[in-house]
Amino acid sequence: MKTMRAGRMVEVGRMVCEEAPVPVPGDGELVVRTAYASICGSDLHMIYLGIPFGGAPQPAGFPGHEGIGEVVQSRHADFAEGDLVLTMPFPPESFCFAELQRVHGRFCLKMPRVEVPLLELLMAQQLGTVIFALRKRPIDVVGKTVMVMGQGSAGMFFAYLVKRAGAAKVIASDLSEARLAQGRKMGVDVALRAEHDNVREAVLDHTGGKGADFLIEAVGRKETLVQTVDLVKASGDMLLFGLPDSMQPVPFNFHDFFRKALTAHSAHGAQHEPGLVSFRTALDLIVRRQIDVAPLVSHVLPVEQVGEAIAMANERSNNALKVSLSF
C-alpha cells in the first residue's frame, strides 16, 4: 500500500479527500489504521478560521485529534501490532483524519476488547478532556448552580459531570435546539436557546438575581466570552474551556470582573497528563455504562465526504450533535 485516503485542508474553510503517502513512524511512534475519527469544535476553528496554525494548505489528516483504530506498525515498546488504541495527538501532530495516522505512543491509550461499539469508545477522547479540565482546578458544586455555555459534546459532558458531582441546578445555553434537547438528558435542568432567550435575564431569574456559582464556557467564541462576567455571581468561578476563535485581543469587561472578585481559569493540555489518567477515567465510565454516549454520535460519514461532514458539524445541520468520519 503506497497511498491512503485522507482528509486534507487545502485552503481555509475547505477540506477534501485526497490520496496521500503512507506515513513512516519514527522512534516511539505508531502507525494506526483509523477506524473512526470525530470532528471537534476546535477542529472547526482551525479549518474555518485558520486558528492557531496559520491557514492552509495543511498536511494530510490534520487537524483531527479524536481517533480510534488498530496499530499496524509500532516503534514504541508499550504497543504491538494489532493493539486497539484511542489516539489523542497534540497539535500540531494531529493527523486522525487519515486512513493511516502516524502518532507518538505517548498520545495513545490501549483499549480493551469489549462489547462496546468503537464509536462510543471514541467518545472517551472528548470526555477525557472535560474530566481533565474539572480535575485541574476542582470546584465544589454540591448544592450550587452551574451555568454551561454551549451544548456540543463537551458542554453536555460538563453538564453530566457537574450534575453527577451534586450540582443543584444546571443551566445551559446553545444555538441548537437538538443539542439542548440532548443536554436535558445529560443533566441540564434549564435549557436556554441563545438566539431567542435573553440568557442574562434568564440566568439571573433562576438564581434570585445573583448569577451562577460556577460558569463553564464551552463554546470558544468572542461573543460568549464577553458575556461570561454578567452570568456569574460575585466571588464566583469561571472555567474557560472553549478554544478561542481569535488570536487577537478580545474585549472583556475587566471592571465588572474586578468588582465582582471573580476567579477564572483555563484548561489545556490533557494529552500531556502523566498516565493519561483523565482519558482512562473517561473510558472506564463508558465501558461500565455509567454514561450513555451513544445518542451523542448523530452522524457518521465516509472520509470521502469529509467536506460535507465538516460543513455539517460547523452549521449544526440535520440536528447534528457529534459528526464522525469512517474509514
Whole-number Å distance between alpha carbons of 99 and 139: 40
Domains 3-123+293-326 and 136-266 share a fold: no
pLDDT reported for residue 248: 87
The C-alpha cell that represents 187 in the structure block: 443533566
Listed residue (51, 78, 99) closest to 245, CA to CA: 51
pLDDT by 10s per residue, the chain, length 327: 789 999 999 999 999 999 999 999 999 999 999 999 999 999 998 999 887 777 789 999 999 999 999 999 999 999 999 999 999 998 888 999 999 999 999 999 999 889 999 999 999 999 999 999 999 999 999 999 999 999 999 999 999 999 999 999 999 999 999 999 999 999 999 999 998 779 999 999 999 999 999 999 999 999 999 999 999 999 999 999 998 888 888 888 999 999 999 999 999 899 999 999 999 999 999 999 999 999 999 999 999 999 999 999 999 889 999 999 999
**CA–CA separation, 20 and 113 (whole Å):** 30
Question: Cα(60)–Cα(23) distance, rounded to whole angstroms?
Answer: 10
The closest alpha carbon to 34, from 287, 275, 300, belongs to 300
Indicate left, alpha or beta for 13 from its phi (over 0: left) and psi (-120 to 50: alpha).
Answer: left
CA distance 290 to 281: 11
Single pTM value for the model:
0.95
Domain 3-123+293-326 classified CATH 2.60.120.10?
no
Distance (Å, whole) CA 160 – CA 24? 40
Cell numbers linked to 201: 435575564
pLDDT at 154: 97
Spatial distance between the Cα atoms of 158 and 311, rounded to a whole number of angstroms: 25
Task: Give the DSSP per-residue string, 89-122.
Answer: PPTTS---SBSEEEEEGGGEEE----SS-HHHHH
Domain parsing of the chain, residue ranges: 3-123+293-326, 136-266
d(CA 189, CA 324): 28
Quote the strand ranges of the chain, DSSP E. Answer: 3-11, 14-21, 29-38, 67-74, 84-87, 100-104, 108-110, 145-149, 169-174, 190-193, 212-217, 232-240, 263-266, 297-302, 322-326
Architecture in CATH for domain 136-266: 3-Layer(aba) Sandwich (3.40)
- How much is the pLDDT for 9? 95
Retrieve residue 173's grid coordinates.
Answer: 445555553
Q: Do residues 57 and 98 touch, judged by C-beta distance below 8 A?
A: no
Angstrom distance (rounded) from CA 210 to CA 155: 22
Report how far Cα 60 is from the mean position of its chain's Cα atoms. Answer: 21
Predicted confidence at residue 195, as pLDDT, reads 80
What secondary structure letter does DSSP report for 275? G
Instruction: State residue 84 phi and psi, 5-degree precision.
Output: -90, 130
